[in-house]
Structure 1
Amino acid sequence: MRKVLPLAATGLLALSACQFAGHDDPAAEAHRLNTMQSLPLHAYIPDPSSEGGRSIGKAQWILAKQCMVRLGFGGFATLNTRTVESTYPVRQGTLAGRGTTGDDSPYGIDDPDRAAEHGYHNRDQEESAQPQEWPADQYVALTGTFGSGDSHFAHGNPIPEGGCLGQATRKIYGPAPKATKVNGVRLTGYYSLALELWYESHKAARKDPGWKKADRAWSDCMKEKGFRYPDPDEASLDTAWYRTEGPSAKEKKTAAADARCKLDTDYIDTVHAIEADAQKTVISKRKKALDDLRAADERAVRSARTIIGEQS
């Protein structure tokens, strides 16, 4: 998701509270702000792990199972959808292990001890939903993603647009919105508007003089510790960190310094405030469209629960 959303992979470390007058616990506050949930646009991107999100995932697989049987995959009649409802299919032979470099916070790792121990390899390997591989013919029918030489038919039956899962999603949500591009990536999902606005507001925030000043303060702090990077993203995305499965000694030292400099310079608090303001601006300009998006999601949850109820 880095190419769509403004995810960085850098860190934060707690320092003495006496350096931050008026803050009871600056490290805890920075940690709270260093989440996607703390930013305004997050309210328009539903959480798939929520009760409603889980209902939609379950309904998608119920409908996809029925579709696959209609396409001639008789074995799907006994598929236990509970084992797959939180996952999206992966084509057999292409499943790669998820890298551990980076994390899912907007401004990077924010635990000093973790930074010193794990460097930038901060991604949690404990995932509730593991990707599942499917044979090529089943994968194509489920997703409508065709490779070279793949047939657009399954057992003589035409594969629906987007495959059985795409068809299921349209039944739950209704017609898909107009596709858009974000940072060169074509988005066709039901939350593409929110993602587009997130990307646009992040670009605007990064141009703000206050953000640039925060980057310079952080960079100056890093120089004092012997590390030369213009901003936290450059540090976390250093190609050296991607050459090894685990963190090197140099990576750990860099990450720890990065984290300490973020707290020293009040980096996360500063850039978060700028980005939050930028998001509020785009929300105010597109509020009706975003509210319509949220209402559509609420209707989708109700539709999903109806589908689940009919199968009970």
Structure 2
Amino acid sequence: MFTNSQRGRIVEAKEKVIKLCVQRFGFTYEPSERSRSFQPETLTALRYGITSESDAADYGYRPAGSEGSTAPVKPKPVAKEVKMLLKGTMAAGDYRGRTVPEGGCLGESRRALQDTEKDGGGGDAEVSNKINANSWQLSYQDKRVRVVFNKWAHCMQRAGHHYADPMEANNDPRWRKTASATSGEKKVAVADARCKKAYNVVGTWYASDRAYQERMIKEHSAELKSVREKINRQTRLATSIVDD
């Protein structure tokens, strides 16, 4: 799977290719500001819910940096001709004495990064996403994990909170009703983190998740080898484009 840094470098490279492509036809193009949506620092951060008591006390179930990060980014206005150049939707043939690339400047940017994914590139391969999602779901339902979930639930009950498992607490609809964490949410989150620690919930859950992933990785070794090669190739291409 791509890291946040690799994905950001690919997006930066694509934007540069698009900008230069549009300039060839006498127009200017400035990409819209990138989304400020929250991204965990690592692929496993928050995978099993809140784990830090101090963060829970300060932010409840909203990790530091996440509040306000999803504010919509207003797209910059784009001239009609530029829109047509981006998608290659003008009449067939040359435009201003230059041949419009197949699929427009967006198509050119994808070819420059050797992109073939349906999401437009920079996204993870379908096989990687399936393994990531399926291992989590299987581990969530695993009997060994359910044993510690049950201990966690009793621990939470002693603290005055009634949830069947950590994700039920994490996804409590009450938390979506306010812009920031309430004192009640923080109390639940702190108890959640404490009970996870008391019964090694995250350790048990992680071990199960990892075991399922390792089994799936072996089953899809050939596909994943191709995915790793693609990630390395696209990262190298993106770096050469950005640094040129």
Tell me if both proteins adopt one fold, taking TM over 0.5 as the criterion.
yes
Look up the equivalent residue of 2:237 and give its one-letter code.
S
Q: Could you tell me how far 1:143 is from its partner in structure 2?
A: 7.8
Query: For the structure 1 residues 54 and 116, does the alpha-carbon distance in structure 2 shift closer, same or farther, using more than 3 Å as the test?
Result: closer
RMSD: 3.8
Match of 1:107 among 26, 40, 48: 48
Q: Partners of 2:55 and 2:211 in 1: how far apart?
A: 30
State how 1:261-280 maps to structure 2 within 5 Å. Answer: 261-280=195-214
Point out where structure 1 has 5 or more consecutive residues left out of the alignment.
Answer: 1-44, 91-96, 145-150, 181-186
Amino acid corresponding to residue 172 of structure 2 in structure 1 = D
1:68/1:141 contact within 8 Å kept: no
Q: From the superposition, tell whether residues 298 and 98 of structure 1 become closer, same or farther in structure 2 (CA, over 3 Å).
A: closer
Distance 1:55 1:229, change over 3 A: closer
In the TM superposition, what are the counterparts of 1:1-312 in structure 2 within 5 Å?
A: 45-50=1-6, 53=7, 55-69=9-23, 74-76=27-29, 79=30, 88=34, 98=37, 104-125=45-66, 133-135=74-76, 137=78, 152-153=89-90, 161=103, 164-165=105-106, 167-174=108-115, 176-177=116-117, 189-308=123-242, 311=244
Deviations 1:84-132 (A, max 9, x none): 7xx64x7xxxxxx7589xx95211222212212221122414999x985
Alignment: residue pair count: 230
Q: TM-score, normalised by structure 1?
A: 0.61
Give distance in 2, aligned partners of 1:60 and 1:221: 50
* Residue type of the alignment partner of 1:74: F
For 1:214 and 1:165, how far apart are their aligned partners in 2? 49
Q: TM-score, normalised by structure 2?
A: 0.76
AA paired with 1:302?
A: R
Question: What percentage of residue pairs aligned between the two structures are identical?
Answer: 25
- Structure 2 counterpart of 1:22: none
Give the 3 Å change call, closer, same or farther, for CA 125–233 of structure 1 in structure 2.
closer
Distance 1:301 1:117, change over 3 A: closer
Q: Where does the alignment leave 5 or more consecutive residues of structure 2 unmatched?
A: none
Structure 1 residue 267: Cα displacement: 0.4
Q: Which AA in structure 2 matches 1:221?
A: C
1:251/1:143 CA distance change after superposition, 3 Å: farther
One-letter amino acid of the counterpart of residue 4, structure 2: P
C-alpha distance in structure 2 between counterparts of 1:286 and 1:226, whole Å: 45
Contact kept in structure 2, 1:104 and 1:123, CA below 8 Å: no
* Contact 2:166-2:192 at 8 Å conserved across structures: yes
